[in-house]
Amino acid sequence: MISVQNTYDFSIDEILSAVFIETQRNWKLSNLCFMDRWILTYSVDGQVTYTFDNQYKTIKKGDILFIPPGKSRSATTSSFSPWKFIVIKFRLSNMNDETKAILDSIPNILQLPNHPVIQGFKEIELSWRTKKPGYTLKCKGLLYSIMYQLFCEMTRDMEHSKYSKLLSNVLSVIGNNVHENYSVQALSEMVGLSPSYFRTIFKQYTGFSPIQYQNYIKMHHAYDLLTCEHYTISEVADQVGINDEFYFSRLFKQVIGTPPSQVT
C-alpha cells in the first residue's frame, strides 16, 4: 500500500477545561506536571516568568504556551503586572509518527502576534463558559482548527519555499481533474520548469513523484465513490481516467491496500 507523506492526524478525546484566569499579584506555581493532558495557553495581558528545563522565559501579552504531557514547569507573575490568560486542557490519542514528530517540534513558547489562531482561543473560552447546546462539539472543532494552524506554522518553511505557490496550483489542477492523466512534461510546462527539475522539487514538496501523486489522488477518490455504492468498479475506473478495469484493480490494491471488490 502506498502511504501519503505528512498525513498529520490525531483524535481529540476530551477537552477537560477552557477557562480565562486572572492571577493575583505574586502568583506562583511550582514544578507542575501532568502526565495525561496537553495544555495550550494564550497570554491575554500582563506577564509571567516560566521555568522550563532550568531556563527562565518571560511570557508577555500575545504569547502562546504549548505544554505536552510530562513537561514540568514553574512560574511566577510580576507584582506590577498580574497575568491574564486563557488555558485549554485536553487529551489526544491516535497520533501517527508524522504527527508525533510535529508535536515534538512545537516550542513551549510561540509568538504569533495578530495570528488567526488567537481568535480560536477566545471562541473556545466563550463557548465553554456559556455551554450552549452542542458546545463540546464546537469547542473540539475550534481546537482542531487551532492545532491545524500550529502545525502549519511548524511546516511553513516548506510552504513558503520558492516554488510552493506554483506547486500548490499544480496539486489543485490534479485534484480538480482526477479523470485526467497528466504527463510530467505537461505538468512541468504549467510552471515553466524542466521535467527533471520539476520532478525533483515535486518529490521534495509532496513526498511523491508526479505519477505516484496522481495515482494516490485517483485511487482515494475511487475509494470514496465505491463506498457510496452507486457505481460499479468499471464506472469508477472510468471516472478516474482508467479504461482498463484490471489495471485499475491492481493499482487500487497497491495504493489502498485492498481490492476494490472488497470495499463496502
User: How far, in Å, CA of 37 to CA of 87, rounded?
Assistant: 12
Would you say residue 20 has pLDDT above 50?
yes
C-alpha cell at 34: 501532568
pLDDT of residue 206: 83
Average pLDDT over every residue of 153-171: 73
- 58-73 tens-digit pLDDT: 999 999 999 999 999 9
pLDDT of residue 156: 66
- 81-104 tens-digit pLDDT: 889 999 999 999 988 888 888 898
pLDDT of residue 224: 93
Residue 2 binned pLDDT confidence (cut-offs 50, 70, 90): very low
Angle of helix 135-154 relative to helix 97-105, nearest 10 degrees, comes to 80
SS (H, E, C) the chain: CCCCCCCCCCEEEEEEEEEEEECCCCCEEEEECCCCCEEEEEEEECCEEEEECCEEEEECCCEEEEECCCCCEEEEECCCCCCEEEEEEEEEECCCHHHHHHHHHCCCEEECCCCCHHHHHHHHHHHHHHCCCCHHHHHHHHHHHHHHHHHHHHCHHHHCCCCHHHHHHHHHHHHHCCCCCCCHHHHHHHHCCCHHHHHHHHHHHHCCCHHHHHHHHHHHHHHHHHHCCCCCHHHHHHHCCCCCHHHHHHHHHHHHCCCHHHCC
pLDDT of residue 1: 42
Residue 4 binned pLDDT confidence (cut-offs 50, 70, 90): very low
Average pLDDT over every residue of 189-193: 92
User: Could you tell me which residues are beta bridge partners of residue 111?
Assistant: 63
Would you say residue 188 has pLDDT above 80?
yes
In the predicted model, what is the mean pLDDT of the chain?
90
Would you say residue 160 has pLDDT above 70?
no
Compare 9 and 162 and report the one with higher pLDDT: 9
Residue 264 binned pLDDT confidence (cut-offs 50, 70, 90): low
pLDDT of residue 194: 93
Our CA dihedral for 188, 192, 195, 197, rounded to 10 degrees, sits at -120
Domains of the chain: 11-157 (2.60.120.280), 164-262 (1.10.10.60)
Compare 115 and 139 and report the one with higher pLDDT: 139
pLDDT of residue 105: 87
